[in-house]
Every structure is written in C-alpha cells, then in structure tokens.
Structure 1
C-alpha cells in the first residue's frame, strides 16, 4: 500500500500537468471554415473571432470576426500557411459551420474532409453545408444582423429551420461520412447561399440597415453520389426526402379545400418507417408514414365542427404528402440515380442474403425499384376557434 502511495505521489505532478496547454490569447478561435477548389489547389477560408469586439467593455464597433485565407496542395497545408498572416494559431475546437464550395463538391469532397475527420481538436457537432452557385469564401464574407458572429447565425438558422420547416436538414460531419461510406445509402447536404448585393454584404453597412443589402439563407438539398455532388432537390422535393428519412420534427403544408380556397396544416408529429422486401426476385420498399397535425389556417368556407370535414381534410393532406414524396423519389431515381433515401439499407436489413447478391448492381437496381408510399394523417386540433371568421365577413 505504501509503495502504491509513493508511486502516485511521484506521478501526480506529471498526470496533473497540461503538456499541451495553450493560453487563450495565443489562439485564433475559429467558428466557421470554408473550403473551395481553385484550379488544382484547395483554398481554405477561416472566420476567426476578434475577442476585443465581442466584449461590452472594450468593443469599438468594428467587425466581431475577421477572415484569413490561404491556398495549398492539401487542406492541411493551407491551414498551416494561414500562420503567415494570422498572429494566432488557428483553433477549430469550437467550430460551428463547415461550408464547402459547389465546384469542390462537384469534383469530390472526401479528400478535403480527411483532415477534419481525424483532427483531435475538432468536435463533430458542427453543421456542413454546400455553397450553392458560389464559393464558400463568398458565404463566409457576409456580415449578419441579430447574430453578430456570422457562424453563429448560420448554425442557429439551420438548427431552427430543420426544427420548423421540413425542407432543410442539418447534417453534421459524422453523419455525412457515415452516409458516404454506407453500402445502400448516399449523402445529402443543405445548400447555403447569399442573396442580394454580395459586395455590400461584407461591409458594416449590411448590419446598420433595417433591410440588409445581403442575407445568408438556406435553400434546396444537394444530392451526392459517393462523394460527388450530382444535383439539387427543389424545396418541394427536399420536403419529400425528409418525410421519407424521418427527419421532420415540425412543419406546415398547404392543401386545397374541398371546394375552393386553401388551408394550412401544421405537422406536430411524424413517424416514418421503411421496410424493404423482395417481390418476384426484385427489390421493393414500403414507406409508411403516420402524421399528427393541427388545422393551422383556413382560407375557405368549411365547417370544422363537422367530423366529416375533418376526415376530408385528412384525406386531402394524405394525398398531397404522397404526391410530394413520390415526386422526390421519381426525381432522384430518374435524374440522379443516387439512393439518398437508404432504400438499399432497408433491403439489406430485411434480406441480407439477397442484398449480398445485388449490392454490386445497386446502381442499376435502384432507378427501377418500386416504392410503395402510404401516409396516414390524423388531425387532432382546429385551434382556439371553430370555423373561420372569414365566413362571417363574406356573408355581411
């Protein structure tokens, strides 16, 4: 026992010491990274916090972030070359966003992700997005209102949007790599772009106006085959994709009323189950989705106190959602031929032996696969009032 205590006393200074300790004022806290391909080199742009501008006492009103950028034959080389211009070592331990340029995505993103996947300083809880019709540098070079640090704005917007709108999807690095390396599933990423005047977007004036000259927004889903971008899903098709893969937390969908006018259904709960099977030697998938919703808005004359009306609205909603989902499946099968839904994984789970036989030919099998989609909608609430007050106005 005494010998053990003696060993612990000798080792304690070593065990308690921080051999790789670095002071905070030696680090450039990086919250967003952009990677582009420029000719045959990688261009890395980092968005670094300016500490003096995020404190109330010492802030001067200048930008709370600054950009550093370098090119290199590899992503790692470009990162290290940033030390030529940055007074502090780039520290990505608090990274919120990784933005990949569209040109890079079309060429392939796997090589550019290798460093980030193995770097011990990086956590895996940051979002990855594709700069749509532009470079990652252009996205990172925009000042943002409300959230003064653009990286936080991008992270929070995507987090909020995926929780409230079915067309966006926040994908993190480990999820992206899992999809790219999976047998029977391909990857998707949400698109990010800058609207308005990009030149003015980088200036202080962009956050001093009620209406900013440029805004960062998310739009459409990028479809990948292996690690290459092959196309984009529209907002409607993106909703269908998220319905299938059970990534909808809450959303709204607009439907036509039984006679004329529109109504909006709020989706409050969704559960999507996918089951693969072999039918006459060919792969087939059943997608069964159960939805609970509320009547959120009514712009037509219907009697919400009549249960028959509720049932009719449920049937209309089911039909609308099935059309959206089937359109997404058709687009992906015919145009992109990339199994982003994980239909191959479903076949693998249900029929491992059959999957083993067909996985090498899955690129040919997937476009011809039959997907049976069934949506079951239950409307549980109609709001705090019964029929719309619009009816009373129109009969005056």
Structure 2
C-alpha cells in the first residue's frame, strides 16, 4: 500500500516537473519568435512619415553587463504610418508585438508642422496597440534620437522615460501622464487646447546612442523631462518651463505633490522651499453687467521643507509663497492671453458651469479671451515645518 502511495506521489512530481519544463520551453520559444515593441517614435520624412520602433533585446538579461544593448532599433519610412510599420515588418523575420508598447514619442517637427490628429486617430483604431499607451512630444530633437539614446539605470530608454515621468508626478509636479483617448476627446470637443509632456536631451552629442554613454559615472547625454507642451488645435505651439508647468498643473488640479522655491523677502536674500502636499483650484466664470470675467481660487497645504531665511516666521513665509504663486499664475495667464491660446481651459469652465451661455461665448472666444479679466486668489497654510526645522 505504501509503495503504491509513493509511486503516485513520484508520478505526480514527475508530471508537474515535466509540465513546468515544457511550459518554460514553450515560453522561451514564443519570446524568441516575436519582437516585443517598447516604444514608437514618429517623425516626418520626404516620403511622409519615418517610424522608429524600439524593441526589447531578449538576449539582454536585466542583470547582464552593460555592453549588451537592452533594445534594438528598427527604422523605416512610408507615405503613411501604417505603411512605414509594414516596411519594418518586411525587414524583420519575427512577428512584431505592438500591444506591449508603453510609449509614443512624436517628433517636434511633425507635431508642429503636420499636427497629431491623424496620428492619435490611427493609434486609437489600431487594435494591436493598447489604449493605455502614454504619449509625449520631443523638444529640439527628432523622436528617433530620443529612442536611440542609451540611458543609465535602465537598458531601454522608454522604460527610463516612464520612470522619470512617474517620479516627477509623485514629487516635482511639472509633468502629468497623457493618453491618446484624452487627447482625442479634447480635440473633438474643441473647448480646451491640449497639453502633452515633452522630452528632450541634455546634449546633442552622438555618444548618446552608443554604449559609451553609460561607461562612465557621469553620462554625457541624459533624458530630460521637465514640463508640458501646449498646442493650437492639433499642432504644437510651444513649451512650458518647469515652473510654468507646475503652475499649469496646479490650475487644472493635476498636481499630486510639488515644491515651491522662493525668496524670503526684499530685505532677506535667503531662500525657502515649501513642499505642497495638497492643492485644490476652482475656476469660476463671473458675469456682471453683461461682462465675463474669471475668478481663480487656489487652496494649498504644505510643509516647510528647507529655509535659509534669517527668521522663519510662518505667517511671513505663507504670505511670501501666496504672493509667488499668485504672481506666477498671473504671468502664465498673461502668456496664454497674449498668444490667444486657451490651454488653461477657461472656455471649458464656461461649458461646464454655464452651458446655456456657452454657445454664444464660444463663437466670440477668439475676440474675448485676450482681454478677459482674471482675478487670482491663493490661500496657503504651512501645516508642518519638518523634522530638521524643529532642531533649535
């Protein structure tokens, strides 16, 4: 009886082990038979579009030596995006797996001259591409150069870009992830100009696309993601600085956490930093005597993160920060009105709060927007001074 029981156990273990071994072999065979796309770059070419596909190099293990590239780049042109991708398919013996792509980078020239509407429309209708893919535009460099850059910490630049964006959202607050569905919704509704994160490089040196870039402790070329780009219709119009992007994301309530650095006052050359933990902004259309204006109220809570002020009077620091945020907000509004580009979303607030008056106002918005008065109020409370600032 015992021999029979042991035989059954042995047979079960043998079967389980064989299943695991077979499954692993099947998985390895499958991985080797497909090309896993991590990012898609879109630039313009004389023919039409130039597409760059960044693919995971399955031969490079996560803990392997730096000389093994983490990604392989395929690049082809075509009259359309789909044709360019098919041209890559014709030159790659493996099946290309697009559903794994995490990032789309649209080149600056393409976004500025051709627009992004047809690009977004294609990726929303393409069943092989996930709708959760993130979208960015490049600054100063083509998308292909961004994706070819060899980065430290991560073997694949698209992974590095996503990590930087995630860290920025949680700490700096000058970038917010954007997806194709949101972009298309805003393009179709046409009540707010779109904004998309942008990525650039610290240098144009060619070493950035070689393994030599990460052979030293200080790489010569780094990926930089500091802010948001804004559009007019579907064409790139400009870039917001890091500080402008912080203010913008605070206005549209897309800030998780951020920091504010400003001076201690006119008679004190020191600086201090407030770590903003909570922020809530309301933008309200106001109608008076037939005239439209807007009232912005922002409530902020944070902690004193660092200070070199001679005297850390919390009330004074709160007042200084409020004045700084109010001034920076007014400057950003002025920039938006000077360019007659409502990427801040004032018309959207009219649509949401006063739908009955929206139709009439939207027809005259181009004439109204540059001159519309906007009142800004900021209420900031420092709720914590941090452990270091408690030291006498």
- Please report the TM-score for the alignment, with normalisation by the length of structure 2: 0.87
Give, in angstroms, the shift of residue 255 of structure 1.
2.1
Distance 2:327 2:108 in 1: 30
TM-superposed CA distance for 1:275, in Å, is 1.9
Give the aligned partner of residue 49 of structure 2: 42
CA distances 1:322-378 after superposition (whole Å, capped 9, x unpaired): 11111111111102x121121111111222121111212222222222222111101
Alignment of 1:12-161 (within 5 A): 23-54=30-61, 61-107=67-113, 108-161=115-168
Comparing 361-370 with 33-42, which one deviates more in the overlay? 361-370
Match of 1:162 among 142, 162, 169: 169
Q: Given that residues 117 and 234 in structure 2 are in contact (C-alpha distance below 8 angstroms), is that contact kept between their aligned partners in structure 1?
A: yes
Deviates more, 1:190-199 or 1:312-321: 190-199
- The answer to whether the Cα contact below 8 Å between 1:317 and 1:377 also exists between their aligned partners in 2 is yes
Q: In structure 2, what is the equivalent of residue 343 of structure 1?
A: 346
Match for residue 293 of structure 2 among 265, 276, 284: 284
1:233 is the counterpart of 2:220: no
Q: Give the Å deviation of 1:385.
A: 4.3
Distance 1:174 1:163 in 2: 23
| Worse-matched range after superposition: 248-257 or 134-143 | 248-257
Cα deviation 1:142-161 (Å, max 9, x = unaligned)? 01111111110011101111
TM-score by length of 1: 0.86
Distance 1:65 1:199 in 2: 17
Deviation at residue 23 of structure 1 after TM alignment: 4.2
Structure 2, unpaired ranges of 5+: 1-28
Secondary structure class of the residue paired with 2:254: coil
What is aligned with 1:196? 203
Could you say which residue in structure 2 is the equivalent of 1:12? none
- Structure 1 distance, partners of 2:55, 2:327, is 45
Distance in 2 between residues matched to 1:223 and 1:345, nearest whole Å: 16
Distance 1:245 1:60, change over 3 A: closer
Q: What does residue 8 of structure 1 align with?
A: none
- 1:270 matches 2:279: yes
Residues 197, 213 of structure 1: 8 Å contact kept? no
Any conservation in 1 of the 2:41–2:143 contact (CA below 8 Å)? yes
- The answer to whether the 8 A contact 1:240-1:327 is kept is no
Instruction: Name the structure 2 match of 1:315.
Output: 319
Deviation track 1:154-194 (CA, whole Å, cap 9, x = no partner) reads 11101111221132222222222222222321101122111
Instruction: Confirm or deny: 8 A CA contact 2:51 2:81 kept in the other structure.
Output: yes
Deviations 1:204-223 (A, max 9, x none): 11122101121111134211
1:122 is displaced (CA, Å) by: 2.0
Deviation string 1:124-153 (CA, Å, 9 cap, x unpaired) is 222211110110011111011111111100
**Equivalent position of 2:186 in the other structure:** 179
Q: 2:329 aligns with which of 320, 325, 329?
A: 325
Q: Distance in 2 between matches of 1:60 and 1:316?
A: 48
C-alpha separation in 2, matches of 1:41 and 1:79 = 12
Query: Within the alignment, does 1:242 sit opposite 2:245 as a pair?
Result: no
In the alignment, the residues of structure 2 paired with residue 53 and residue 138 of structure 1 have an alpha-carbon distance, to the nearest angstrom, of 21
Q: Is the 8 A contact 2:66 2:211 kept in 1?
A: no
1:55 CA drift (Å): 5.7
Which of the residues 238, 244, 251 maps onto 2:258?
251
Describe the SS at the equivalent of 1:86: coil
Q: What runs of 5+ residues in structure 1 fail to find an aligned partner? A: 1-21, 390-396
Q: Is the 8 A contact 1:127 1:172 kept in 2?
A: yes
